[in-house]
Amino acid sequence: MSDVTANRKRRRRPEISPFQWLTLALVAAFIIVPFYTTVLGGFKSIGELRTNPFGLPASWDPANFTGIIFGTALFRSLWNSLIIALSTVALSVLIASMAAFALAHIRFFGSKFLMSFFMLGLLFPASTAILPLFIKLRDLGLLDSHLGIIIAQVAFSLAFSIVLFHSFFKRLPHELIDAARMDNCGYLKIYWYITLPLSLPIIATVGVFAFVGSWNSFLLPLIVLNTDTNYTWPLGIMQFQGQYGSDWPKILAYLTLTIIPAVGFFLLAQRYIISGLTGGAVKG
């Protein structure tokens, strides 16, 4: 019992200094205050929002929310964003995990160069490739289509996703891979039946990054999409703001409704995110 108590004392979380508490409180305030103001602003009138932007509404009027839900193309744009985001997540996880597995566990000429090449891709912002991407999508006939956005977003997310997967896979016990190879298990079976089941934390981490990046993407859909029925929610709110430019409570209500799916996805996967990010730093 004394050994257990001693181990618990050794594993006790380090104390946080007042300066660290202050830093965390400031960061939290920068995140919480805009979200708090956005949600409450959707229940206010235009006059009340101007006189009382941060306080509670005098009367909680859901008319802005119900008007948007039943009177706009909100759900169509949300559905378009959801299809694009989930497709991006599925393809990013599948392609990046397979590439990272090969780079981590299969020895072949040029593997280190390829890994360095993928890491080099993290240095270039996606905006630098917009013009050549537009030309290529036009040549392939993928303009004004969700498939064109999905392919581009998967391509942009691969470098970061492969680096995360590779770091995680390198820390998995090599004894499992060696034992499977001794039993004449092929690399595809090792990847599917051994590596992936052990990689749920990093899969969730990569999935959240890919989902949020796709969900909040504005520039790429703006360049690719031309038809209102194909618009994602960022383009939908741009169109909505053009119609209700002075009605900020309606705009804030629209923003609140579009935030909910991303927050829900994050809450479902948050238990895996930290373990996925730190899994590559701890010898498994």
What domains are there in the chain, each with its CATH number? Answer: 17-61 (no CATH), 73-279 (1.10.3720.10)
3-state secondary structure (DSSP) of residue 70: helix
Burial 246-258 (b: 16+ CB within 10 A, else e): ebbbbbbbbbbbb
pLDDT averaged over the chain?
85
Nearest Cα residue to 153 out of 94, 242, 92: 92
Query: How far apart are alpha carbons 80 and 127 in whole angstroms?
Result: 22
pLDDT band of residue 282 (cuts 50, 70, 90) is: very low
Query: How far apart are alpha carbons 39 and 27 in whole angstroms?
Result: 19
Q: List pLDDT tens digits, range 9-31.
A: 455 666 778 888 999 899 989 98
Tokens of 61: 């009027």
Q: List pLDDT tens digits, range 252-268.
A: 998 898 888 778 877 77
Nearest Cα residue to 224 out of 145, 132, 129, 141: 145
For helices 200-215 and 248-279, the axis angle rounded to 10 degrees is 150
pLDDT, residue 284, reads 42
Query: How far apart are alpha carbons 68 and 200 in whole angstroms?
Result: 37
Nearest Cα residue to 88 out of 193, 188, 161: 161
Q: 256, 210 in Cβ contact below 8 A? A: no
pLDDT, residue 144, reads 93
- CA 277 from chain centre, in angstroms, equals 14
Best-predicted range by mean pLDDT (21-25, 114-118, 119-123): 21-25
Q: List pLDDT tens digits, range 39-91.
A: 999 999 888 988 988 888 988 888 889 888 887 688 899 999 999 999 999 99
pLDDT, residue 283, reads 46
Helix runs in 106-193, H state only: 111-120, 130-140, 146-170, 174-182, 187-189
pLDDT, residue 4, reads 47
Tokens of 109: 């000429």
> Residues 6 or more apart from 131 whose CB is under 8 A from it?
none
Q: List pLDDT tens digits, range 173-203.
A: 888 888 888 888 888 899 999 999 989 889 9
